Amino acid sequence: MSQLSLEQRIALITSITEHGGELIGANELPEVLQSSEQLYTYDGFEPSGQMHIAQGIIRAINVNKMIDAGFIFRMWVADWFAFLNNKLGGDLEKIQTVGKYFIEVWKASGMNVEKTEFLWTSDFVGQRWYWELVMKVAKAVTLKRALRTTAIMGRNESDDLSAGQILYPCMQAADIFGVMKARVTQLGLDQQKVNVLAREIGEELGYWKPVIVSHGMLQGLQKPVEKKMTLFQREDILNNAKVPFYTSEKKIGLDAEKLETDVDTFQINFVNANNDILRTITVSPQMTVEKYFDLEVDMPEPGTIRVTENTQDRTISMKMSKSKPDTAIFMTDTDEEVQRKITKAYCPEGVAEDNPVLDYCKQIIFNAKYLKRETPLLENDLFVISRKPEHGGDISFTSYAELEAAYVNKEVFPLDLKNAVVTYLNALLQPVRDHFENDAEAKALLEQVRSFEVTR
């Protein structure tokens, strides 16, 4: 049981969403947290290739936050999902080897493994009840609805998907109810669409509407993709929606014939009076009217339609990629590799927006206090940039906001920032390096994983 007050627990959970994430079902969270039942939350990963720092350090930070808020964290080693998604060429033995390596990384990363349960999909796929639940989910979901979740696999609707990949979201939604017993889900923003699907069908299947805590995505170190212009932002009362929207008793749609834009894709969020997002769809001018006129949203009370640039898909496209190693820091990178990658990282002078080096500071270094470490990363909670006296001498910051302001005002320059980040990242990664150097079983696993060719 958490020793924190209800307000502190909610604040801790909400903090996970601060950096580009989102909390859906916030008004339901107090009731969940005050329940007398054991609380579970979960995240899952397809084992594929070496683990990068977002999967290792940020995952450990967020796991520990949820544990401090009163949850047992269930980590889903999604080996069969990786198989369905053709990771590592669909070689299940290799995938499971990577899964064992993942667990070894988490043990050394500062994650509270005493209150984390590691579960494998392979332990459940042979059980009849599991497939009965998957089939119930599949029966409750249209094919079009399932296809809208393809971002969870790193795919999109236009990809040539196998039947197994279409089954994937049905399995993931079933896991929330049947395996994880998760009243709250805590995954990345790229997994949000299937969690929303679970909210939509949960009560219909006799379960619950899980609260969705989505953390933002850590930027890749490369120059970000070019921003699209925002189409428009508006909030229309559903009872009085104007063109290009149309509404009827339960249908809400967009009149494609009246849509004029050069933006490739954008989002429509359907929001109720409590600011809960009931449905999010991504549309484009190229889609036919029928493609999104079939959307039905149950709106028992007045709400709003919000139309924005498709920032979520843009954020996902900017994240690091295992298939492009220089876009990410990996958990067993050497000092020299960290130095090289950060030194060449995109970091425009005086610019904070879409700056991956600052993103590492915000999401990792200033949050490292939540890791279980023998010594804190930031001594006396100070982020220190070491500089020669002729360059202004050392400068320290007590918060990310202070650091960002100084950077934007050009009181801190890119090379100084990068040098500090290299120092802190190497300090974070050293316990993991030591574990894989000194533990014979872990070392053998890493050697195997490094020999595997990563596939998309």
CATH number at residue 382: 1.10.240.10
Structure token digits, residue 165: 């990949």
Any idea which of 65-69, 220-224, 292-296, 437-441 has the lowest mean pLDDT?
Answer: 292-296
- Does residue 228 sit within a domain? no
pLDDT of residue 286: 43
Mean pLDDT: which of 175-189, 254-268, 272-286 is highest?
175-189
Mean per-residue pLDDT, 111-131: 96
- Does residue 222 sit within a domain? no
Position 210 confidence tier, pLDDT thresholds 50, 70, 90? very high
Any idea which of 131-140, 143-152, 324-333, 375-384 has the lowest mean pLDDT?
Answer: 143-152
Position 204 confidence tier, pLDDT thresholds 50, 70, 90? very high
pLDDT of residue 224: 79
- Does residue 298 sit within a domain? yes
pLDDT of residue 296: 41
pLDDT of residue 15: 96
Same domain, 194 and 292: no
pLDDT of residue 154: 60
Same domain, 43 and 81: yes
pLDDT of residue 254: 46
Answer yes or no: are the C-beta atoms of 256 and 285 closer than 8 Å.
yes
Answer yes or no: are the C-beta atoms of 386 and 396 closer than 8 Å.
no
Q: Is the pLDDT of residue 310 over 80?
A: no
pLDDT of residue 148: 75
- Does residue 224 sit within a domain? no
Any idea which of 16-30, 51-65, 331-345 has the lowest mean pLDDT?
Answer: 16-30
Position 281 confidence tier, pLDDT thresholds 50, 70, 90? low
Position 223 confidence tier, pLDDT thresholds 50, 70, 90? confident
Same domain, 354 and 407: yes
Last residue of a domain, which of 278, 309, 340? 309
Q: Is the pLDDT of residue 170 over 60?
A: yes
CA distance 231 to 241: 17
Any idea which of 296-300, 327-331, 345-349 has the lowest mean pLDDT?
Answer: 296-300
Same domain, 29 and 108: yes
pLDDT of residue 271: 58
pLDDT of residue 203: 95
Mean per-residue pLDDT, 5-31: 94
For tokens 């220089």, name the residue: 326
Is the model more confident about 322 or about 393? 393
pLDDT of residue 276: 62
Any idea which of 18-32, 56-70, 355-369 has the lowest mean pLDDT?
Answer: 18-32
Please report, for residues 21, 56, 286, 406, the alpha-carbon distance to residue 218 in angstroms, rounded to integers and kept in the order given: 11, 12, 30, 22
Last residue of a domain, which of 309, 339, 366? 309
pLDDT of residue 429: 98
- Does residue 184 sit within a domain? yes
Same domain, 183 and 246: no
pLDDT of residue 401: 96
Position 121 confidence tier, pLDDT thresholds 50, 70, 90? very high
Same domain, 292 and 420: no
Any idea which of 101-105, 166-170, 403-407, 442-446 has the lowest mean pLDDT?
Answer: 166-170
- Does residue 223 sit within a domain? no
Same domain, 122 and 10: yes
Q: For the whole model, what pTM was predicted?
A: 0.79
Same domain, 118 and 208: yes
Same domain, 137 and 210: yes
Question: Looking at the 3D structure of the chain, how many domains does it have?
Answer: 3
pLDDT of residue 253: 47
- Does residue 165 sit within a domain? yes
User: Maximum CA pair distance of the chain?
Assistant: 71
Mean per-residue pLDDT, 408-432: 97
CA distance 420 to 393: 13
C-alpha R_g of the chain: 23
Q: Which CATH number do you get for residue 193?
A: 3.40.50.620
Q: Is the pLDDT of residue 380 over 70?
A: yes
- Name the average pLDDT for the chain: 82
Same domain, 298 and 356: no
Same domain, 272 and 345: no
Quote the domain boundaries for residue 294: 235-309
Last residue of a domain, which of 256, 286, 309? 309
- Does residue 315 sit within a domain? no
Give the angle 100-102-107 at the CA atoms, nearest 5°. Answer: 100
pLDDT of residue 225: 63
pLDDT digits (tens, 9 = 90+) for 47-60: 988 999 999 999 99
Same domain, 126 and 245: no
Report DSSP letters for 138-176, one per residue: HHHS-HHHHHTTGGGGT--TTS---HHHHHHHHHHHHII
